[in-house]
């Protein structure tokens, strides 16, 4: 099934944006200006299935799908990079993370409504389940705005493959279940909401923000 999405950055997300992604508070108007320019370029869709037909997924109830922000976001980031606007390209990536989280929530609500069950956990291929499931998932969903390369990479780049674990009774609210930071195993991510101080920064963040 194909479902049009309208992801947005919530007001409360802006409040912690600069600290999470290591920007100065004075830069927020510029960041929000880039967000305003991005929105018309976002062509977000979810392709999902409620069928229990993925043999390697051993769950009583689940759905799976692909979520994309569309090629326009990639093209904007590439345009900034071509003009050596590294920070602007990084801002596009940061905003994309928030838009994807919003898109996951939209998909979860759609699945709950169609399935009559409740989301308890959202995971990505490569975490609990292997990336080798991707070609089969792609073949069954047949997304018309996403392609899978020979190297098993999804394009547009702002695309994710998801497994939605479902329960008969609500376990947590959808926003909490879609908090990808809470489940992510990349503890050294510089954009993690709660990163232990002892863990290293990534090389890319160190270069952009001159972190030593």
> Does residue 163 surpass a pLDDT of 90?
yes
Helix (H, G, I), strand (E, B) or coil at 164: strand
51-61 pLDDT, tens per residue? 999 989 999 99
Q: What is the pLDDT of residue 165?
A: 95
CA diameter of the chain: 51
Other beta carbons less than 10 A from residue 187's beta carbon: 12
| DSSP notation for 30-73 | HHHHHHHHHGGG---EEEEE-----TT---SSEEEEEEE--HHH
Q: What percentage of the chain reaches a pLDDT higher than 90?
A: 75
What's the rounded Cα separation, in Å, for the pair 177 and 165? 10
**Residues 26-55 pLDDT 10s:** 999 999 999 999 999 999 999 999 999 998
- Report the C-alpha gap between 105 and 112 in whole angstroms: 10
pTM of the model as a whole: 0.85
Q: Which helix (H) or strand (E) holds 82?
A: helix 71-82
Neighbours of 157 (CB within 10 A): 15
Q: Is 109 within 8 Å of 119 (Cβ atoms)?
A: no
3-state secondary structure of 15: helix
């Amino acid at each position: 099934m194909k479902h049009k999405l309208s992801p947005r950055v919530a007001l409360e997300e802006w409040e912690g944006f600069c600290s999470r992604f290591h920007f100065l508070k004075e830069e927020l108007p510029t960041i929000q200006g880039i967000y305003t320019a991005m929105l018309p370029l976002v062509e977000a869709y979810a392709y999902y299935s409620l069928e229990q037909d993925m043999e390697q997924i051993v769950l009583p109830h689940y759905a799976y799908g692909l979520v994309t922000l569309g090629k326009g976001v990639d093209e904007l980031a590439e345009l900034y990079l071509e003009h050596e606007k590294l920070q602007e390209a990084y801002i596009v990536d940061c905003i994309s993370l928030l838009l994807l989280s919003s898109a996951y929530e939209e998909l979860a609500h759609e699945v709950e409504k169609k399935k009559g069950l409740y989301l308890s956990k959202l995971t990505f291929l490569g975490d609990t389940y292997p990336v080798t499931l991707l070609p089969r998932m792609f073949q069954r969903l047949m997304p018309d705005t996403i392609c899978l390369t020979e190297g098993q990479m999804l394009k547009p780049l702002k695309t994710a493959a998801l497994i939605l674990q479902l329960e008969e009774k609500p376990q947590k609210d959808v926003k909490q279940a879609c908090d990808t930071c809470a489940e992510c195993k990349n503890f050294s991510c510089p954009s993690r909401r709660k990163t232990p101080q002892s863990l290293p920064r990534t090389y890319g963040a160190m270069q952009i923000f001159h972190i030593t």
